[in-house]
């Protein structure tokens, strides 16, 4: 009997930890010079280099960099995360159908926008948002220690509310609107933006899509070559160290590890170059070191590979242990091959006939 997508999840592997490129011996692989960095977007069928898997329980979990498409698991059978890792569970574009969804457990639950349907003019929007907040923050359904939310272009009711009112509505989840938050004690920094681009000139769903929403990212603190706070020096997760979220506000206190933004790269209809896609320019400005999480374009659901931001390419390498067995001091450093971009939009199909898709999961090695 076919398993409903609501009972499944898509696993995008583990992202190997980054270290400053001067910390270990140089890689034996061919160096990827700036001229070799991809200048065009790639679909999830991109042929990535081979990276070793890691053992987690009875399963060998692949590196994100080696996956051509996600591994699909029943939620109840998703392997435990490798240690030490931060497990991210990502959903987006739930469009008021959140009560129909099941979400796997993890450390950080992220919603990438479009909570509202946007075209239903007869229902009580405030009651719907309250119901969503109750569902999202219910610890019996979602025991994730940290929960993060951004809005999307359908979320006009949220756009009309003062930011502090939205934060109170969604608490204890953290609402981000051009804001930075740090997951403690592991020191992983997230930056959230609701910006997106309209799919159609006729669409009434235009929240956070004006020119003001697409101002450049101007915070030098997020692009500094901060070797003292390199990912490799972050504390490790343990049962004695419960996770919590510390809101930093508009100005990030340092480099961003995970960028959460509503807009997705336009892969299925990519008739234009990368320089013509504002989301790619924005990713280069923010320079996330680990992964970009998004939604918005339902047809672009899945993982895409973006060029590595220049500050990341210059300062960091991937620590690779062949077969996952070597001690850390024997690890080889490889060039960061691409910036993973996971579109977790959970709807596909025409209006009125949308089918639910599965939530996304990725592990960040610490």
The answer to whether position 25 is within a domain reads: no
Could you give the CA distance from residue 174 to residue 358 in angstroms, rounded to a whole number?
Answer: 23
What pLDDT is attached to residue 356?
A: 87
Q: Which two tokens stand for residue 334?
A: 């490889």
Query: pLDDT tens, 242-282?
Result: 999 999 999 999 999 999 999 988 755 545 555 567 888 89
Domain membership of residue 105 as a residue range: 12-17+64-225+247-317+333-365
For residue 193, the domain's CATH number is 3.60.21.10
Give the SS3 label for residue 133: helix
Could you give the CA distance from residue 187 to residue 1 in angstroms, rounded to a whole number?
Answer: 43
Q: Which two tokens stand for residue 236?
A: 């490790």
Among 134, 125, 151, which residue's Cα sits nearest to residue 98? 134
What pLDDT is attached to residue 223?
A: 64
The answer to whether position 203 is within a domain reads: yes
Q: Is the pLDDT of residue 295 over 50?
A: yes
| Residue 201 pLDDT class (50, 70, 90 cuts) | confident
The answer to whether position 141 is within a domain reads: yes
Least confident of 112-121, 278-287, 326-335: 326-335
What pLDDT is attached to residue 316?
A: 87
What pLDDT is attached to residue 36?
A: 30
What pLDDT is attached to residue 324?
A: 47
The answer to whether position 187 is within a domain reads: yes
| CB-based contacts of 189, cutoff 8 Å, min separation 6 | 180, 181, 182, 183, 248, 252, 253, 254, 255, 256, 257, 258
The answer to whether position 182 is within a domain reads: yes
What pLDDT is attached to residue 34?
A: 33
The answer to whether position 323 is within a domain reads: no
The answer to whether position 42 is within a domain reads: no
Query: pLDDT tens, 315-331?
Result: 888 876 554 444 555 56
| Residue 5 pLDDT class (50, 70, 90 cuts) | low
What pLDDT is attached to residue 175?
A: 98
Write down the pTM of the prediction: 0.85
What pLDDT is attached to residue 30?
A: 31
Between 318 and 189, where is the model more confident? 189
Among 119, 137, 89, which residue's Cα sits nearest to residue 258? 89
Q: What total number of domains does the chain contain? A: 1
The answer to whether position 289 is within a domain reads: yes
Between 349 and 170, where is the model more confident? 170
């Amino acid at each position: 009997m076919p398993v409903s997508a609501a009972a499944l999840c898509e696993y995008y592997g583990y992202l190997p930890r980054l270290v400053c490129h001067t910390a270990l011996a140089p890689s034996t692989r061919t160096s990827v010079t700036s001229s070799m960095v991809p200048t065009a977007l790639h679909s999830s069928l991109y042929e990535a280099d081979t990276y070793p898997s890691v053992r987690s329980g009875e399963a060998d979990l692949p590196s994100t960099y080696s996956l051509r498409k996600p591994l699909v698991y029943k939620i109840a059978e998703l392997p435990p995360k490798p240690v030490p890792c931060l497990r991210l569970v990502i959903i987006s574009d739930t469009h008021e159908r959140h009560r129909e969804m099941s979400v796997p457990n993890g450390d950080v639950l992220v919603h990438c926008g479009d909570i509202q349907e946007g075209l239903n003019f007869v229902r009580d929007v405030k009651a719907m948002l309250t119901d969503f907040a109750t569902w999202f923050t219910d610890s019996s359904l979602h025991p994730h220690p940290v929960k993060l939310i951004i809005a999307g272009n359908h979320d006009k009711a949220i756009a009309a509310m003062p930011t502090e009112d939205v934060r109170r509505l969604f608490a204890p989840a953290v609402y981000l609107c051009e804001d930075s938050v740090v997951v403690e004690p592991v020191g992983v920094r997230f930056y959230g933006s609701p910006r997106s681009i309209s799919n159609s000139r006729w669409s009434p769903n235009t929240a956070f899509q004006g020119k003001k929403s697409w101002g450049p990212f101007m915070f030098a603190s997020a692009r500094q070559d901060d070797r003292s706070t390199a990912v490799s020096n972050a504390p490790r997760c343990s049962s004695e160290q419960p996770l919590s979220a510390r809101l930093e506000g508009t100005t990030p206190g340092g480099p961003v590890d995970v960028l959460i933004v509503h807009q997705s790269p336009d892969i299925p209809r990519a008739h234009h170059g990368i320089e013509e896609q504002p989301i790619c320019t924005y990713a280069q400005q923010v320079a996330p070191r680990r992964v970009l999480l998004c939604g918005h374009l339902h047809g672009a659901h899945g993982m895409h590979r973006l060029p590595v931001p220049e500050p990341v390419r210059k300062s960091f390498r991937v620590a690779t242990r062949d077969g996952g067995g070597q001690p850390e001091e024997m690890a080889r450093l490889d060039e960061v091959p691409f910036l993973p971009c996971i579109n977790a939009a959970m709807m596909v199909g025409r209006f009125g006939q949308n089918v639910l898709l599965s939530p996304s999961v990725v592990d960040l090695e610490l």
